[in-house]
Amino acid sequence: MAPAWIGEFDLLLRPWEDSDLDAVLRGISDPEFRRWNAVTVPPPDEEGARTFLERRAAGWEQGDSVAFAVTAQAEGPDVVVGSVGLAMIDHVQRSARVSYWILPEFRGRGYASRALEALTRWAFHEELRLHRLELGHALGHGASCRVAERCAYGLEGTLRGAMPGSDGGMWDIHLHARIATDPEPDLRARAAR
C-alpha cells in the first residue's frame, strides 16, 4: 500500500519518518505506556526506536499494517504528539486491529480520540474499505477504555488471558469494536477546544 496522509479535525496523520526517532524513543520509553504495552513494543532505547520505525515502514510495504505519526496544529508544525495505526489487516475479512498512544505531555487534550476517529473514518471509507475494527486494552486501563467509548467502539466483552502483561502474567482484555455501518461520534466540539 502507498503511505497515506490524513487531515481531519485539527490533526495531520502522516507516515512515520526517520526524523521522528526522538518522538518514538520518548513514546516507547514512557513508563505509563510500557506498563500497558511492555511486551508488544521494542526495548526503550535508540535501537528499539529504530526497530519501531522499520516495522512501521515494512507494514506499509507488506500491506498488513499502517502506522501514522499524529501531529496537531495547536502544538506547531511537525510536532509529533503520538501514534495511531492498524495492525493485523485482513483484506478478505475486511477487518483490522487499532492501536494508539499519546506522549505524556500531550495527554488529556483529546488527541487520542480524534486521531482514532480520523483513522477509523479513513479505514472504513478510503483505500482499505474495511468493515470491522477491533480495539483491545488491558482491564484496568481506564484511559484507553474512555477513548474507545468516545469513538463509539462498543464493548463486546472480556477476553480472558489474552495479552502478555508487563508483570509476566497473562492479562484479561476488554474487546471493543466498531463496524462501518455504526454511527460516527461527533468529536468536533472537542477539536475546537
pLDDT 10s digits, 28-78 = 999 999 999 867 788 899 999 999 999 999 999 999 999 999 999 899 878
CB-count burial class (<10 Å; 0-12, 13-18, 19+) for 171: buried
- The whole model's pTM is what? 0.93
Q: How far lies 19's CA from each of 16, 50, 106, 162, in Å?
A: 8, 10, 19, 34
Beta strands in the chain (DSSP E): 6-8, 11-15, 66-72, 80-90, 95-102, 132-138, 154-164, 170-179
Q: Distance (Å, rounded) from C-alpha 39 to C-alpha 87?
A: 16
pLDDT score at 183: 93
The predicted-structure confidence for 65-120, as pLDDT tens digits, reads as follows: 999 999 998 998 789 999 999 999 999 999 999 999 999 999 999 999 999 999 99
For the chain, the structural domain boundaries read 6-192
Mean of the per-residue pLDDT values of the chain: 92
Q: Sorting pLDDT into bands at 50, 70 and 90, what band is 189?
A: low
Q: Which CATH number fits domain 6-192: 3.40.50.10680, 3.40.630.30, 3.40.190.10, 3.50.50.60?
A: 3.40.630.30
Residue (of 35, 67, 28) closest to 50 by Cα position: 28
pLDDT confidence of residue 124: 97
Residue 3 has a pLDDT of: 84
Q: What is the structure's pLDDT at 88?
A: 96
Q: Is 18 exposed, middle or buried (0-12, 13-18, 19+ CB in 10 A)?
A: exposed
Integer Cα distance of 52 and 159 in angstroms: 27
Q: Which of 111, 104, 113 is nearest to 30 (CA)?
A: 104
Q: Give me the percent of the chain exceeding a pLDDT of 70.
A: 96
Confidence of residue 130 (pLDDT cuts 50, 70, 90): very high
Mean pLDDT of 181-189: 84
Start-to-end C-alpha separation, the chain: 34
Say whether pLDDT at 26 is over 70: yes
Distance, in Å, from the CA atom of 117 to the CA atom of 148, rounded to the nearest integer, reads 10
Kindly state the percentage of the chain with pLDDT values over 90. 81
Q: Is the pLDDT of residue 176 over 70?
A: yes
- Local confidence band at 191 (pLDDT 50, 70, 90 cut-offs): very low
- What pLDDT was estimated at residue 84? 97
pLDDT at 192: 41
